[in-house]
Amino acid sequence: MSRAKSNARSFGQKRHRRQWLTFLRMFRYGVNNFTRNAWLTIAATAVMTITLLIIFMTLAARNVLNDSVTEISKKVDMSIYLKTETTDKQAEVIMKDLRKLSNVSQVSFISADEARALNAEQNRSSSDVLDAINQATNKLPATIRISLTDINDTTQLDTFVKTNDNLKESIHPDRAPSFAGTRRSAIQNLARWTDFAQNVGLGASVLFVAISSLIVFNTIRMAIFNRKEEIQMMKLIGADRSFIRGPFVVEAVVYGFIAAVVATALGFALLHLSAEKLMAYGVAVEPTIEFLTTYIAVVLLGMVFLGALVGTISSLLATQKYLKI
């Protein structure tokens, strides 16, 4: 009984060893095939590199645009103008009701006197404007400034202005709430451009994935045709289907691996080179660069996996169609 177990164990070890040797041979043949057709190899790797680079930059741009929208949104506030004589106590009652709104993140009050002082401070470099402010008899309205979680949604504020009884008693009769302005319009435009850029990036990624897959498909097909006699000989000596197909799959995976490494390096280089100019225009690119740098190993593994996946699927389709085994 023990001898039978020993024989079975020995047989299993030999089988595993044979499988490992077979895998190593397939890998070696696949790497050799990679270097046989230089121009086809360069073309397939280049197109796959462009594909992965577009995917990398699309995802990075999406994060950069979202971070930029978030940062600018924090600087945009909405204003409700109150009567000049509104006191801090009256304003606090209104602000308490405002804080109950789910879309309101922050509320502050500026009295008429504070508004006048702020206006003077902002225009202190212009003596003419400053003199006009000091000589003016009419006072600026008191203001409640509101920061929203989502600046594109002012529904709650619109309803609040129309229905809140405390606000109706103090709201300025001649100054409508500032729920629209140039800064808010800029945010909305940026959000629309973000969606547009994401859609364009997604479309470009899909297009180049298709092109890359087609080129890898044709490269593997030509490799099969060039080695038709060699494949026929392998069939005659009883080679397994997986052994014949394996080198072609390995070849395609090598395309994806090299393309992923190059695309990741190019992506990081482009982000770092453009970071200074983008930040000068107020684009929040630093968080994305920090995230990618921190998780560079995960990013690279993801890119390698994606490149290998594209190459594997293309090679399997090509061998299934043209490798008659």
Flag whether pLDDT at 122 surpasses 80: no
- CA 105 to chain CA centroid, nearest Å: 26
Mean pLDDT, residues 204-210: 78
pLDDT at 199: 79
Q: Does residue 322 or residue 264 have the better pLDDT?
A: 264
pLDDT band, very low/low/confident/very high, at 129 (cuts 50, 70, 90) = very low
The sign of the CA dihedral 246, 251, 255, 258 is positive
pLDDT at 212: 75
Query: Which domains are seen in the chain, by residue range?
Result: 25-71+191-322 (no CATH), 84-171 (3.30.70.3040)
Angle between helices 296-322 and 182-226 (to 10 degrees): 40
The two three-digit tokens of residue 155, written as one number: 């529904």
Q: What's the pLDDT tens digit per position in 5-60?
A: 555 555 455 566 666 665 566 666 656 666 666 677 787 788 888 888 888 888 88
Flag whether pLDDT at 324 surpasses 80: no
Q: What is the dihedral of CA 309, 313, 315, 318, to 10 degrees?
A: -170
Flag whether pLDDT at 259 surpasses 80: yes
pLDDT at 153: 75
Q: How far are the Cα atoms of 10, 105, 149, 158 from residue 180, in angstroms, in the given order?
A: 80, 18, 15, 11
pLDDT band, very low/low/confident/very high, at 159 (cuts 50, 70, 90) = confident
Q: Residue 234 class from Cβ within 10 Å (0-12 exposed, 13-18 middle, 19+ buried)?
A: middle
Q: Does residue 95 or residue 250 have the better pLDDT?
A: 95
Q: What's the pLDDT tens digit per position in 76-96?
A: 667 888 888 888 888 898 899
pTM of the model: 0.66
Q: Does residue 287 or residue 28 have the better pLDDT?
A: 287
% of the chain at pLDDT higher than 70 = 67
Q: Please, are residues 34 and 251 in contact by the beta-carbon 8 Å criterion?
A: yes
Flag whether pLDDT at 321 surpasses 90: no
Q: How far are the Cα atoms of 208, 245, 314 from residue 30, in angstroms, in the given order?
A: 24, 10, 15
Q: Does residue 19 or residue 67 have the better pLDDT?
A: 67
The per-residue pLDDT of the chain, averaged, comes to 76
Flag whether pLDDT at 265 surpasses 90: yes
Phi (first) and psi of residue 271, to 5 degrees: -65, -45
Flag whether pLDDT at 136 surpasses 50: no
